[in-house]
């Protein structure tokens, strides 16, 4: 585990995330039957929605720097701003003659060449506070123009698309993130070993049958919770643990491995959230060639490569999109690091992605182009999400208004339809 380089606010958030446990030990369901939930589990049930693509959000908490991942080529000005935190053109993968890709993102370059990865640059939130807590929460609610909106944006997507079956939403984390706030059909866990049905005093099958009869009416909140916990747990118990693909040995790769196993087992997941949880908050010693950011990009690239291989043909129905709360300031600081900024870059990948393109209303990086030293946001991140949810997620224009209330997204050509 590498040393944390983030600011005190981000370290507090990260430590809190690591220690939190929504449910400790066991969650009793009555009749002596319990569901082990070491990392926290929530369940619910309704009718399955339409068969659409799976949208996977890769949450890059900490503020991923877009210009480290996707820098300008041939820019003496960028290297002047960042003498120790930028690479020469010869060290980058050339995307389109204007933008490059960090040298450690070799598999992402392969996806780009295969037209299965698109980059959206100078993208971010409509307003920024440079606060990890405030901006992460705002990004996951995604309701800047309608502050009374309930639930996170992934919850609103599932509801708008009619995906209300057990396990329609999944987060590879200890607890559901804010983007799934208010969800009644989503689960959160980091390992299949966290989910286990145990009988007390009688055979497990006797208790399963008894509990199913007790809560067959599904009218009360308790009956719904109990019956659907049984159903979800039984489904998860059938997920095979074996996999032939070798994943890198890090937590992010393990989360993607878990998600892939659920997908291959036929779980009805339509919206997923996977935490990267790397050291992206690089206020000092950013390590663009060797070190923190170089390692971050290696982990990101290697895990996605294994995930792509693991999914096989199911890659065609899967869209991955990276999200971060903000980028970094354009000029590096005296500690060879980058402080909190505004615009960043997003990666969109998958078998149906209209890849091989960089979408950027480029604002420029002259001093006069910047906003308080930050790269300007010229594309709202909700435009990226909305374009994916409409074309891959099957949302109508009316449904989209429920997901992003009081906001009219600009359509980006990110998905082949």
**Domain extent for 173:** 8-26+46-203+241-403
- pLDDT the model gives residue 39: 33
Residue 2 forms part of a structural domain? no
- pLDDT the model gives residue 137: 93
Residue 409 forms part of a structural domain? no
CA 361 vs. chain centroid, Å, equals: 24
End-to-end CA distance of the chain: 42
The model's pLDDT over 103-123, given as tens digits with 9 standing for 90+, comes to: 999 999 999 999 999 999 999
- pLDDT the model gives residue 388: 97
- pLDDT the model gives residue 28: 28
- pLDDT the model gives residue 206: 56
What is the count of structural domains for the chain? 1
Residue 100 forms part of a structural domain? yes
Residue 188 forms part of a structural domain? yes
Q: Which residues contact 194 (CB under 8 A, 6 or more apart)?
A: 36, 37, 38, 39, 41
- pLDDT the model gives residue 278: 86
Q: Which residues contact 243 (CB under 8 A, 6 or more apart)?
A: 257, 260, 261, 310
- Number of continuous H segments (helices) and E segments (strands) in the chain: 12, 14
CATH classification of the domain holding 71 = 3.40.720
- pLDDT the model gives residue 99: 98
Residue 146 forms part of a structural domain? yes
The full 3-state SS of 290-335, as one line of letters, equals CCHHHHHHHHHHHHHHHHHHHHHHHHHHEEEEEECCCCECCCCCCC
Query: What one-character DSSP code corresponds to residue 193?
Result: G
Which residue numbers in the chain have pLDDT < 50? Answer: 1-2, 16-51, 197-203, 207, 222
Read out DSSP for 8-61? Answer: HHHHHHHHHHHH--SS-SEEE-STT-EEEETT--------------EEEEEE-T
How far is residue 66's CA from residue 176's CA, in Å, rounded to a whole number?
26
Residue 85 forms part of a structural domain? yes
Angle formed at CA 399 by CA 397 and CA 405, multiple of 5 degrees = 90
How far is residue 29's CA from residue 211's CA, in Å, rounded to a whole number?
9
Residue 411 forms part of a structural domain? no
Residue 54 forms part of a structural domain? yes
């Amino acid at each position: 585990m590498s040393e944390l380089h983030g600011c005190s606010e981000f370290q507090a958030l990260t430590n809190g995330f690591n220690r939190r446990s929504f449910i400790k030990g066991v969650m009793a369901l009555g009749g002596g039957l319990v569901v082990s939930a070491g990392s926290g589990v929530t369940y619910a049930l309704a009718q399955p929605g339409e068969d659409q693509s799976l949208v996977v959000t890769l949450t890059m908490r900490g503020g991923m720097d877009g210009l480290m991942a996707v820098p300008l080529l041939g820019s003496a000005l960028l290297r002047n701003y960042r003498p120790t935190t930028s690479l020469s053109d010869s060290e980058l993968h050339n995307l389109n003659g204007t933008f490059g890709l960090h040298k450690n993102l070799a598999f992402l370059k392969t996806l780009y060449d295969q037209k299965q990865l698109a980059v959206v640059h100078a993208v971010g939130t409509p307003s920024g506070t440079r606060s990890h807590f405030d901006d992460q929460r705002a990004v996951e609610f995604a309701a800047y123009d309608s502050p009374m909106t309930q639930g996170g944006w992934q919850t609103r997507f599932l509801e708008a698309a009619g995906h209300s079956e057990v396990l329609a939403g999944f987060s590879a984390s200890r607890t559901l993130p804010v983007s799934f706030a208010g969800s009644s059909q989503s689960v959160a866990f980091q390992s299949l070993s966290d989910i286990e049905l145990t009988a007390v005093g009688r055979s497990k099958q006797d208790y399963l049958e008894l509990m199913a009869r007790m809560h067959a009416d599904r009218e009360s909140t308790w009956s719904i919770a109990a019956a659907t916990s049984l159903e979800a747990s039984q489904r998860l118990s059938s997920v095979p643990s074996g996999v032939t693909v070798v994943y890198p040995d890090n937590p992010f790769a393990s989360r993607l491995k878990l998600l892939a196993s659920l997908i291959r087992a036929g779980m009805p997941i339509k919206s997923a959230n996977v935490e990267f949880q790397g050291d992206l908050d690089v206020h000092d010693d950013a390590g663009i060639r060797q070190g923190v950011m170089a390692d971050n990009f290696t982990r990101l690239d290697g895990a996605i490569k294994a995930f792509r291989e693991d999914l096989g043909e199911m890659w065609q129905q899967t869209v991955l999109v990276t999200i971060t709360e903000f980028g970094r300031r354009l000029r590096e600081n005296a500690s060879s690091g980058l402080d909190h900024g505004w615009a960043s870059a997003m990666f969109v990948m998958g078998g149906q992605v209209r890849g091989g393109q960089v979408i950027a209303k480029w604002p420029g990086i002259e001093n006069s182009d910047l906003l308080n030293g930050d790269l300007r946001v010229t594309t709202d991140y909700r435009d990226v999400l909305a374009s994916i949810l409409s074309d891959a997620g099957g949302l109508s224009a009316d449904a989209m208004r429920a997901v992003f209330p009081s906001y009219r997204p600009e359509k980006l050509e990110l998905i082949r339809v």
